[in-house]
């Protein structure tokens, strides 16, 4: 099941492979603390592999879109009808300015972000230092949005899920026995100059990467199964998710990504898993 958002770095194409790493249906609660477009959750839920779910993200504006689609999808669709169609290219920067004026809650906010997501460059979400969305117009021949039936289906799959604006620390602290956790954090950059920091106000650097790995292991020790995605780099395999700490490098897919200005290529990623595990007791 594809999400309604076209999200840079989204996992629609890898969702099936990630589902296999969980090795079966979640018997407890499913947690996804880096929700993004919700591609993995929607895939799992559509196949009956998850029930109760806690979904969260550090981007509060994105979280409000998922809440609106979940709770007020008909109103979101009505607001989308009011936004430009044939003349979308001439109106893009007007809609972007309107979005940046807020408010950042409710169906009108959700519709504007969804529209900008489809009309802006490459499904990118980026803010400047003032917190204003600044993605330029996309290079599309026409504006393409999911139809109403698609929105209704996604809304039904989100029904019953808890959707929060929260830190990954707070959300993952709740995970324990029989639970499953999928983590798709901002990736470790491929080069020293490739770090992307415009997704939300809080940076996600190496300190946060190490904290995430430690919390993943804590959840595994409590009985959860945690799956994580990241770039396939020695730093990731050997320092963040080392086998000596119980991590398993389950898959190394190569996916299409923008690798530099104006260039795309296939970049290696790693899907790691940990848990449930038990500490070895001293004799």
Give DSSP secondary structure letters for 163-224.
EEE--HHHHHTT--TT-EEEE-PPPPPSSTT-----SSSS---HHHHHHHHHHHHHHHHTT-
> In the chain, which residues have pLDDT < 70?
192-202, 256-265, 278-283
> With contact defined as beta carbons under 8 Å apart, do 111 and 61 qualify?
no
How far is the CA of 193 from the CAs of 135, 241, 273, in angstroms? 20, 23, 28
Phi-psi region of 160 (alpha: psi -120 to 50; beta: other; left: phi over 0): left
Torsion angles phi and psi, residue 182, rounded to 5? -115, 125
Please write down the HEC assignment for all residues of 33-79. CCCCCCHHHHHHHHCCCCCCEEEEECCHHHHHHHHHHHHCHHHHHHH
Which pLDDT does position 280 carry in this prediction?
Answer: 42
Which pLDDT does position 36 carry in this prediction?
Answer: 95
Find tokens 């790995």 and name the residue. 213
Phi-psi region of 32 (alpha: psi -120 to 50; beta: other; left: phi over 0): beta
> With contact defined as beta carbons under 8 Å apart, do 31 and 172 qualify?
yes
Domains of the chain: 15-58+166-274 (3.40.50.150), 76-151 (1.10.1020.10)
Which pLDDT does position 257 carry in this prediction?
Answer: 59
Cα 91 versus chain centre, distance:
28
CA neighbor of 257 nearest in space, from 222, 234, 283, 232:
232
Which pLDDT does position 61 carry in this prediction?
Answer: 97
How far is the CA of 267 from the CAs of 12, 56, 245, 259, 264, in angstroms? 16, 26, 26, 8, 9
CA neighbor of 184 nearest in space, from 14, 20, 64, 29:
14
Which pLDDT does position 183 carry in this prediction?
Answer: 98
- Preceding omega of 40 cis (within 30 degrees of 0): no
230 three-class SS: strand
Q: Is 250 exposed, middle or buried (0-12, 13-18, 19+ CB in 10 A)?
A: middle
């Amino acid at each position: 099941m594809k999400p309604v958002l076209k999200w840079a770095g989204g996992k629609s194409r890898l969702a099936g492979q990630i589902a296999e790493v969980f090795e079966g249906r979640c018997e407890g609660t499913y947690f996804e603390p880096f929700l993004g477009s919700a591609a993995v959750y929607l895939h799992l839920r559509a196949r009956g592999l998850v029930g109760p779910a806690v979904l969260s993200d550090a981007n509060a504006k994105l979280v409000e879109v998922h809440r609106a689609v979940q709770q007020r999808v008909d109103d979101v669709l009505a607001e989308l009808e009011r936004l430009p169609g044939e003349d979308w290219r001439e109106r893009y920067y007007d809609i972007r300015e309107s979005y940046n004026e807020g408010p950042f809650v409710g169906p009108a906010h959700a519709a504007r972000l969804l529209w900008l997501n489809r009309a802006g460059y490459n499904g990118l979400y980026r803010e400047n230092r003032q917190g204003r969305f600044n993605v330029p117009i996309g290079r599309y021949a026409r504006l393409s949005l999911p139809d109403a039936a698609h929105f209704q289906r996604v809304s039904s799959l989100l029904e019953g899920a808890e959707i929060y604006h929260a830190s990954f620390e707070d959300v993952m602290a709740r995970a324990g026995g029989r639970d499953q956790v999928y983590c798709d954090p901002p990736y470790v950059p491929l080069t020293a100059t490739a770090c992307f920091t415009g997704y939300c106000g809080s940076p996600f650097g190496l300190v946060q990467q190490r904290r995430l790995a430690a919390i993943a292991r804590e959840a595994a020790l409590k009985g959860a199964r945690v799956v994580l995605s990241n770039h396939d780099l020695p730093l990731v395999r050997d320092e963040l998710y080392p086998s000596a700490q119980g991590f398993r490098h389950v898959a190394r897919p190569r996916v299409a990504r923008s690798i530099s200005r104006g260039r795309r290529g296939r970049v290696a990623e790693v899907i790691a898993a940990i848990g449930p595990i038990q500490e070895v007791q001293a004799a």
